Each structure stands twice: as structure tokens, then as C-alpha cells.
Amino acid sequence: MAEEEDDPGFDEDLDDGGNGVDSGQGKRKRLFSKELRCMMYGFGDDQNPYTESVDILEDLVIEFITEMTHKAMSIGRQGRVQVEDIVFLIRKDPRKFARVKDLLTMNEELKKTLKAFDEANYGS
């Protein structure tokens, strides 16, 4: 990734695991650069967002996922992440809660439809 504006001091911050906001994640490869750019455009940013902004967002998302995962592991069944735990953690945030419910419902419907389709195809 061509990041001309990064100063070399970033690579020192390998011990900073949790707070990815002020310092970069160091040498970690960028996981979501392309998708994040499309997403930022979709949400209202410019068609070509700044690389630094994309980096900050990626760090934030990874921090968010990490935190959710840790919390989910500590409630319900210990050491495992299950959907019910995620739904429980999200219950206070209306947008995310609604989104998760929609996604899971759609997924169930899809599975049911595909299953019915398969059974119709391959005999009674």
C-alpha cells in the first residue's frame, strides 16, 4: 500500500493493542481498505477518501469487533461467541439491534427458501 504520508514512527506502536484511534496499528496489514473506501463513499464521504481517514476507520472497526468479541466471550457460554450474546450486547443501541434482527431473519428466510427449493428439485 503506498502510504506516503505515514511517518516511520508508527511502526514503534506495536504494544498499543487496544486504542487504535491516536496511533496506527503498526505493521498490521490493512484488512478492509477497499471495502471501507466504498463504504465511506456510500455513507456520504467523497468518492476518494483520504487514506489516513480510511486507516483510522479500519482501526476503529477492528477495535469495535475485538471489544464485542471479548464481551461476548465473557457472558453466556464462557469462551465462545454466540449470536445470542451479540444480540444481548447490542440491545441498547436501536439501530444496530434492528439491523441484526433484520439480517438474521432474512438469513433464516433464505435458508428456508433454498431448502424448499432443493427438496422440490430432488424428489419428494
Which residues are near another protein by CB under 8 A?
18-19, 21-22, 31-32, 35-36, 38-46, 48-50, 52-53, 56-57, 60-71, 73-74, 78-83, 86-87, 90, 93, 95-96, 98-104, 106-107
Considering beta carbons, is residue 83 or 116 the nearer one to another protein? Answer: 83
Considering beta carbons, is residue 11 or 106 the nearer one to another protein? Answer: 106
User: Taking Cα atoms as reference points, which of 53, 68, 67, 55 lies closest to residue 17?
Assistant: 67
Min CB(3)–another protein separation in Å:
13
Residue with cell string 450474546:
85
Considering beta carbons, is residue 12 or 65 the nearer one to another protein? Answer: 65
CA-based radius of gyration for the chain: 20
Residue with cell string 457472558:
75
Give me 28's grid cell: 498490521
Min CB(123)–another protein separation in Å:
26
Considering beta carbons, is residue 26 or 49 the nearer one to another protein? Answer: 49
How far apart are alpha carbons 120 and 124 in whole angstroms?
Answer: 7
Give me 89's grid cell: 450486547
